[in-house]
Amino acid sequence: MQMPMQISLDEILSMLLARVDNLAFNDENIKTKFNILARAMYKKGLITDEDITDSIREEHRILKELGVIQEMPADDVILTIAEGILQWVKGDVEAIKKAMAEYEKKVQEISKQQAGKPRIDVASPAVLHQLNKLSGKNPRGGGKLIL
């Protein structure tokens, strides 16, 4: 009988992080291609501000009919989404910088709020092995819960 393959938590996390990195790279690549094509079509007059807004409404209508979302977003939400897309399409660097600064500020506020909440820390297998050695217990089997 063949022995089951054992994979450590570190190996699983490494594989998952590599996949997440790959997805992030692909996402950025798609965004770049979208921005280039949309910018070219906008400059040629093939896409207007109204086209973007109408397309956002249409996208949400389809999502609602498919049952993916419960209700249509309000007009101000649609306009905010359109504004964000148009900033990139138009290449409005100052508006993008301002939006990024506001986003960073919100993230910092949320992280300050989260700092006071309890967290879960996961010890590496090496640390757990060292603890087992120090306690004199069998290094194989049995997990430890460290509070």
Q: Give pLDDT, residue 1.
A: 60
Q: Give pLDDT, residue 39.
A: 95
Determine contact, residues 47/88, Cβ cutoff 8 Å.
Answer: no
With cut-offs at 50, 70 and 90, classify the pLDDT of residue 66.
Answer: very high
Q: Give pLDDT, residue 121.
A: 73
133 in any annotated domain = no
Number of domains in the chain: 1
**Residues 96-121: tens digit of each pLDDT:** 999 899 999 999 998 888 877 777 77
With cut-offs at 50, 70 and 90, classify the pLDDT of residue 54.
Answer: very high
2 in any annotated domain = no
93 Cβ contact list (under 8 Å, min separation 6): none
Beta strands per DSSP E along the chain = none
110 in any annotated domain = yes
Residue 19 has pLDDT above 80, yes or no: yes
75 in any annotated domain = yes
**Residues 22-52: tens digit of each pLDDT:** 999 999 999 999 999 999 999 999 999 999 9
Closest CA to 125 of 8, 4, 43, 1: 8
Range of 23's domain?
13-118
- Global confidence as pTM: 0.59
56 in any annotated domain = yes
90 in any annotated domain = yes
Q: Give pLDDT, residue 147.
A: 53
58 in any annotated domain = yes
4 in any annotated domain = no
